[in-house]
Amino acid sequence: MSPGAIFVQPHLDDVALSCGGVVGAAAANGASPRVVTIFAGAPDLPAALGALATRLHARWGLGDRPLEGRKLEDRAACALLGAEPAWLAHTEALYRAGPTGPPALLRDLFARPTASDDVLLARVIDDVRAVHQAFPEATFFFPLGVGGHADHLLCQAAGAALETHGAAVVYYEDFPYVTAPGEPLRQRLTELAPDLQSRVIRVEPWFEARLAASAAYRSQLGTILGGRPLADAARGWASAVAPGGLGERLWGSATALATLTRTLGPAA
């Protein structure tokens, strides 16, 4: 069955962490959701391993083929949400060398894309356009880019480009970056189009599945959450989004948000 909901994530974990409840709602409504990971390409080992990647690989405990281990985690997470995974071959910022070489510190991943990223962005846009051409009636979900991770910003830019080609594109809030101090959501919305509207989706029936799917990315949780308990952090934000319940917030144009009723059914 053709997917009616296509969730695009920069890395092998972002969708479950950020909007796993919405994925569950789409699956329950018969939308056959698909989760497409943009930066799932294998790095050129060991040449692409800088100091940061070397440390993270050791922390992940996935042996000498970490990408294969992460794809297994992604497949398990998608199964818990009722979705199908798909992986593109672009390599993430962790393995992309900048002017001074591969990233050495986590903060090196949070850099604005530069002119040198234009070729990569063009290739990503070509790939997501191909997905849209295959499934033109689907609603596409992209990250909003909260927090400023380079890969998230590139992914959001690809979503914005896809909108210009007629796709229904909505944006999810990047968790856990959206929970950081300093109002990062407000900062990001200020950077984007001022006419973005929001829709809160109540996800109580699928929230436990979201937690289980997020926990399936065992190798990543220590780095992502910095020692915070996953359930506490996720539940805290979801209850702030939907006081008195649990919610996930989506952003987009009025036209794009209107497609959510078809895609998510009663949850929308």
Domain region containing 200: 5-267
Number of folded domains that form the chain: 1
Please tell me the predicted confidence (pLDDT) of residue 179.
96
* pLDDT (average), residues 126-137: 98
Q: What is the pLDDT of residue 84?
A: 98
Query: Do 221 and 230 meet the contact criterion of CB atoms below 8 Å apart?
Result: yes
- For the stretch 2-22, pLDDT in tens is 899 999 999 999 999 999 999
Residue 1 has pLDDT above 90, yes or no: no
In order of 48, 58, 88, 207, 263, the CA distances from 64 in angstroms are 13, 9, 21, 34, 40
What CATH number does the domain containing 165 carry?
3.40.50.10320
Mean pLDDT over residues 158-177, rounded?
97
Greater confidence (251 vs 44) lies with 251
Residue-wise pLDDT for 72-125, tens only, equals: 999 999 999 999 999 999 999 999 987 777 899 999 999 888 778 999 999 999
Helices 66-81 and 14-28, interaxial angle, to 10°?
30
